[in-house]
Structure 1
Amino acid sequence: MSAQAPSIQTDDVQANVKPKAVAKADKHIWGIFIALCIISVIELYSASSREVASSSIGVMGPIIRHLVMLGGGAFLVYVLSKRHYSDFIPFTIVFACVSVVMMVYVMFFGEIVNGARRSLTILGIGIYPAEMVKLSAVLLIALVMTWNPNTKKVGVTSKAVIYSGFIVLLLSGLLIEQGLTNTLLLLAISYSMMIVGGVRFVDLLLLTLAYAACGGLFLVYLVLSEPKDIPADEDQQIEMVAGETAKKNPTRLDTWKARLGRHGQDSVPKWEIPAVGKNRQEILSYMAQANGGIYGVGPGNSREASRLPLAFSDYIFAIIVEELGLIGGIVVLTLYLWLLGRASGIASHCNRTYPALVVIGMAIMIAFQALFHMGIVSGVFPVSGQPLPLLSKGGTSIVVTAIAFGIMLSISRTATRQGGKKQDIRDEIDALPEQFGAENQMQL
């Protein structure tokens, strides 16, 4: 199937008129969003007990704030779902530039959270640009791969791989100081989009070697550089492994080594490891999941929520399993995988490459972040902070996830399908810039 863009009409009237919707917004995606919001409200109420006990915000304070954020997110999803997906093309560059500028600012002047500069405050609202960067990566990679289709074979050109790799390296360089998990998540998202988009194995192999070389150079830099002048906080101090000489200002490399060292102690069963300062969070999360059993102790009956630090964010899945049991955990996991499967179905039927890449990229971002969170909480991956999309407390995470859901719903409503009406396809092509006329050749 040829990837050559059809001729684009330049009539002024056509250029200013968006094509009508070709279908209703996907009910499955809407249902997944609503289901996650309901679970979030129920479980966050239990998980916020520690926060309530340590402040004067009142019993209902955390849940009211979370309801406001979810309500704003739902409104954002609805508004974006009513737009034509072509409106997100100029939005990509603006959003990516804002994300990068914020990340650069945070690197030098950001507020320190859990041992690293992670956030900035605007009008009293804390913003975590790392969440925005992941969304920017999806949109930018979709743009680059759409602009560089392989006109002779299925897939994209090597130029698309080079540009995508440069974007990933740039954004990874901004993320790496904040945490290794976000960088690995970004790599997983980009690899998945490239594989689905038809990148050749040889190009992927060369790209992997380039990533490895850059990662090696960064590791050498960390080893040779002096500790940064960042005040040591409680989280940093508990990351030091037993018997290690404590540093006044430990670096992120020290944190990573400590976490990997603890994770590699497979010879000792989890239930025999005592909960001390350096591993208190993960041990309490394992206790919460064990207490839940198959059916759970019921909503509001969590035993560990009042003891587990960050139960409302980085460890929300532990409270979900404790209260809803293994069955509840599987249901939550199924919702994210269902979203990924539904987005794959939509992408495979899109006529154009751009909406197909964007919809699958958004679903991959949400599903992979959920899998990373669950893997960390259950002990599969080393400890690291990663919110569970829509379920964890956090304004930036909710807004970014809402944008992703809104874009997916917009594409499900306005992107034409293979075998659809010819007039709808012509209208779609007329609404798109010339570079976006390539036919969908994704390997799904």
Structure 2
Amino acid sequence: MVFFFLCMISIVEVYSASSELTYKKGNYLSPIIYHCAILAAGLFVMVITLNIKCKYFKLFTPFLLFLALTTLIIVFLTGHSTNGAQRWISVFGMQFQPSEIAKGAMILAEAQILSAMQTDNGADKRAFKYILIVAGFMVLPIAVENLSTAVLLCMVIIMMMIIGRVPKLQIGKLMGIIMIMVALAFAIIMIFGTDKSKETSKTNLEEQVAQNKKSSTIEKIFHRADTWKSRINKFMSDKEVAPEDYDLDKDAQVAHSNIAIASSNIVGKGPGNSVERDFLSQAFSDFIYAIIIEEMGIEGAIIVAFLYVVLLFRTGRIANRCENNFPAFLAMGLALMLVTQAIFNMLVAVGLAPVTGQPLPLVSKGGTSTIINCAYIGVILSISRSSVKREDDKEISDDTQTEVKRNSQICE
């Protein structure tokens, strides 16, 4: 039911927020037909996935890891660039993000490692090492072009370690190393990056072009530093800007997102009555939560957030019913991925986090991400069906034993 409601909200809000695509294509039905087709494909994938027995998911792990690593290398070398980020590769005319495959492969691998190395006192110490090795191959290639996705994946990996009872000392050391690496990355971004939101003179622009022609391998790796630095500066700046001095061209996304939220007047304008969708460039994707607030008010925002809370709670109940560790860890990992990404998106939309470019799972308009998120839901449902069937079989077995004992007593 959570999946159903999120899909219904997605259809309504994507249809409302796709005014930019409607204008470009000259057909107001084209964007929503495409989105419904993607959701239908995702539903088909979900139905297939939920009918796969949980034990077979282990067999997919090495193939998915190989596929994810291969496609990540391909996208780094010859990937398609969108909005300055090289995140896409094209297969048979269709574009997809390898990072979406890498996320699922990493969660599968970690769930398998944690389940295979569980002891009475928690996970074996070697599990930590194996998880870091796999994470290194998955996270580092993603971080070059999609830092927010890499951070999101790292958070899920750590949360799964906590759930999998990895020794606290190891997790503590890892957190310390991560803090040092974050500080180092922050320093590199601030050194190599150029804040594009600030005005640049013609002379400086010519110098920048000349430097770009002499780019080295390091500069290629940190070519996204400009974007990261601009987002950090915008988020950390506490300078008050008068409305008449605000530059809507340079800070269009954040500005129009704030306007959409402020103009909702708590109760919202009603479905299809958004105004800021015509000015917000990613209204149907990264900032769809702002459009939901503008149209549906605070109540709509709470309902959407509550649906993700229910998804996490229900998955926890499913994991608690599992007799084996692997399906429990896998279900929780996938749910944490979906919910954490949703939290990222909502925090960005309301201005509590810097712009990250993360879509709202199962709600934002998308292709690869929507279909793969549907597959995640299918895996969780498959685990749920398996656990319920075991409970039913156990109840039947208990009833049979009780009946045998009763007949034996009667015979005696």
Q: TM-score, normalised by structure 1?
A: 0.80
Alpha-carbon deviation of 1:167? 2.0
Hey, what's the Cα distance between the residues in 2 that align with 1:183 and 1:270? 36
Assess, with a 3 A threshold, how the Cα gap between structure 1 residues 184 and 422 changes in structure 2: closer, same or farther.
same
Give the match's secondary structure for 2:123: coil
- The residue number in structure 2 matching 1:199 is 166
Q: Say whether the 8 Å CA contact 1:351–1:417 is kept in structure 2.
A: no
Assess, with a 3 A threshold, how the Cα gap between structure 1 residues 218 and 268 changes in structure 2: closer, same or farther.
closer
Give the match's secondary structure for 2:86: strand
Assess, with a 3 A threshold, how the Cα gap between structure 1 residues 219 and 372 changes in structure 2: closer, same or farther.
closer
Hey, what's the Cα distance between the residues in 1 that align with 2:249 and 2:134? 39
Hey, what's the Cα distance between the residues in 2 that align with 1:382 and 1:111? 24
1:184 aligns with 2:141: no
Q: Say whether the 8 Å CA contact 1:350–1:417 is kept in structure 2.
A: no
Of structures 1 and 2, the larger Rg is shown by 2
Alpha-carbon deviation of 1:124? 1.5
- The residue number in structure 1 matching 2:216 is none
Q: Deviations over 1:129-162 (max 9, x none)?
A: 1222211121111011112112x41x21111111
- The residue number in structure 1 matching 2:9 is 39
- The residue number in structure 2 matching 1:240 is 197
1:414 aligns with 2:386: yes
Assess, with a 3 A threshold, how the Cα gap between structure 1 residues 221 and 406 changes in structure 2: closer, same or farther.
same
Alpha-carbon deviation of 1:221? 7.2
- The residue number in structure 1 matching 2:139 is 172
Hey, what's the Cα distance between the residues in 2 that align with 1:98 and 1:50? 35
Of stretches 215-224 and 174-183 in structure 1, the one that deviates more from structure 2 is: 215-224
Q: Say whether the 8 Å CA contact 1:296–1:321 is kept in structure 2.
A: yes
Give the match's secondary structure for 1:95: helix
1:125 aligns with 2:125: no
Assess, with a 3 A threshold, how the Cα gap between structure 1 residues 373 and 222 changes in structure 2: closer, same or farther.
closer
- The residue number in structure 2 matching 1:52 is 22
Give the match's secondary structure for 1:308: coil
Unaligned runs of 5+ in 1: 1-30, 228-236, 426-444
Hey, what's the Cα distance between the residues in 2 that align with 1:361 and 1:269? 42
Assess, with a 3 A threshold, how the Cα gap between structure 1 residues 148 and 417 changes in structure 2: closer, same or farther.
farther
One-letter amino acid matched to 1:66: H
Matched pairs, number: 382
Alpha-carbon deviation of 1:297? 0.5
Larger helix percent = 2
Assess, with a 3 A threshold, how the Cα gap between structure 1 residues 418 and 72 changes in structure 2: closer, same or farther.
closer
Q: Say whether the 8 Å CA contact 1:390–1:398 is kept in structure 2.
A: yes
Where in structure 2 are the equivalents of 1:245-284 lying within 5 Å? Answer: 246=205, 247-248=208-209, 249=212, 251-268=223-240, 274-284=246-256
Alpha-carbon deviation of 1:59? 0.9
Assess, with a 3 A threshold, how the Cα gap between structure 1 residues 172 and 347 changes in structure 2: closer, same or farther.
same
Q: Say whether the 8 Å CA contact 1:351–1:416 is kept in structure 2.
A: no
Hey, what's the Cα distance between the residues in 2 that align with 1:174 and 1:284? 33
- The residue number in structure 2 matching 1:143 is 112
Within the candidate set 79, 84, 93, 1:110 is matched to: 79
Q: Deviations over 1:357-392 (max 9, x none)?
A: 011111101000000011111111111211111111
Q: Say whether the 8 Å CA contact 2:87–2:146 is kept in structure 1.
A: no
Where in structure 2 are the equivalents of 1:10-25 lying within 5 Å? Answer: none
One-letter amino acid matched to 2:46: V
Hey, what's the Cα distance between the residues in 1 that align with 2:275 and 2:248? 18
Give the match's secondary structure for 1:188: helix
Alpha-carbon deviation of 1:40? 0.5
Q: Deviations over 1:107-126 (max 9, x none)?
A: 11001111121101112211
- The residue number in structure 2 matching 1:333 is 305
Assess, with a 3 A threshold, how the Cα gap between structure 1 residues 112 and 324 changes in structure 2: closer, same or farther.
same
Unaligned runs of 5+ in 2: 213-221, 398-412
Q: Which has the higher contact order (CA 8 A, sep 6+)?
A: 1
Q: Percent identity?
A: 32
Alpha-carbon deviation of 1:52? 1.3
One-letter amino acid matched to 2:100: E
Q: Say whether the 8 Å CA contact 2:69–2:137 is kept in structure 1.
A: no
Give the match's secondary structure for 1:120: strand
Where in structure 2 are the equivalents of 1:287-326 lying within 5 Å? Answer: 287-326=259-298
Assess, with a 3 A threshold, how the Cα gap between structure 1 residues 179 and 288 changes in structure 2: closer, same or farther.
same
Assess, with a 3 A threshold, how the Cα gap between structure 1 residues 202 and 170 changes in structure 2: closer, same or farther.
same
